[in-house]
Amino acid sequence: MSEPNKYFAVFVLGTDGPGIVADVSKALFELGANINDSSHTIIGNQFAMLLLISIAPNYTAEKIQNVFQHITSQRGLTIHVQQLNHDDVYRRSTDPGQLCVIHLYGADKPGIVYQVTNLLASNKVNITDLSTRRFGNELKPIYIMYLEAEVPLNVDTRKLGSDLNNLASSLNVEIKYELEEVASL
């Protein structure tokens, strides 16, 4: 019986440019690695990517890291490879709850992310995805936030909605939220 595959997280950071995803995924393909999960974004002009890969058991983080030497020197990227424990590979199942999607739009000011996420954390709401963007000029910047979260069934969603509305009012932003029951997260 053969050994099971090993799992690694691959972090990629650096100045954005066309072809980064292609270069990284080609290197992984040539190694025989499978990309199980991935996410990437551009913040300012900085590229950030996180991949969860599986690969044959004879690979180490160092062997995988070495494959990226050409890409890191050519593109000026930082790539870090870290082996994962089996417990970190699959999302832990949680009690069924509700999916909450929040959209925020308004004038930019310090503390928006903290105040929204703190309200959610105080209600035991787990954020699963969050992205923000700032648009406009320095005199009138507009802030947009998109957030997905898991709301436990025991949370009073009417109160949570009221608290979000009150927060929107105090921040002078618009917050729209949708709740959808899910069978299993």
Domain 6-88: CATH class, spelled out: alpha beta
pTM above 0.85, yes or no: no
- Encoded amino acid at 54, one letter: S
pLDDT at 101 > cutoff 90: yes
Question: Looking at residue 106, what is its pLDDT?
Answer: 95
Neighbouring-strand partners of residue 7: 54
Nearest to 104 by CA among 92, 116, 95, 93: 116
> What's the mean pLDDT in 4-20?
96
DSSP letter assigned to residue 90? S
- Nearest alpha carbon to residue 83 among 5, 27, 4, 7: 7
Cα–Cα nearest to 19, from 92, 88, 71: 71
Task: Let me know if domain 97-181 sits in CATH 3.30.70.260.
Answer: yes
pLDDT value of residue 140? 83
Kindly tell me if the per-residue pLDDT of 113 is higher than 70. yes
pLDDT of residue 21: 96
pLDDT tens track for 119-174: 999 999 999 899 999 888 778 889 999 999 999 999 999 999 999 999 999 999 99
Q: In this predicted structure, what is the pLDDT of residue 185?
A: 39
Residue 11, both tokens: 């972090």
What would the pLDDT profile of 21-52 be if each residue is shown by its tens digit?
Answer: 999 999 999 999 999 999 999 998 999 999 99
Position 15 pLDDT exceeds 80? yes
Residue 1 predicted with pLDDT over 70: no
Give the residue extent of every domain in the chain. 6-88, 97-181
The predicted structure's pLDDT at residue 93: 61
Same fold flag, 6-88 and 97-181: yes
pLDDT digits (tens, 9 = 90+) for 59-82: 999 999 999 999 999 999 999 999
Q: At which residue do the structure tokens 């700032």 appear?
A: 134
Q: Which of 62, 52, 59, 63 is nearest to 86 (CA)?
A: 52
Under 8 Å between Cβ of 9 and 39: no
User: Which uninterrupted H or E stretch holds 119?
Assistant: helix 112-122
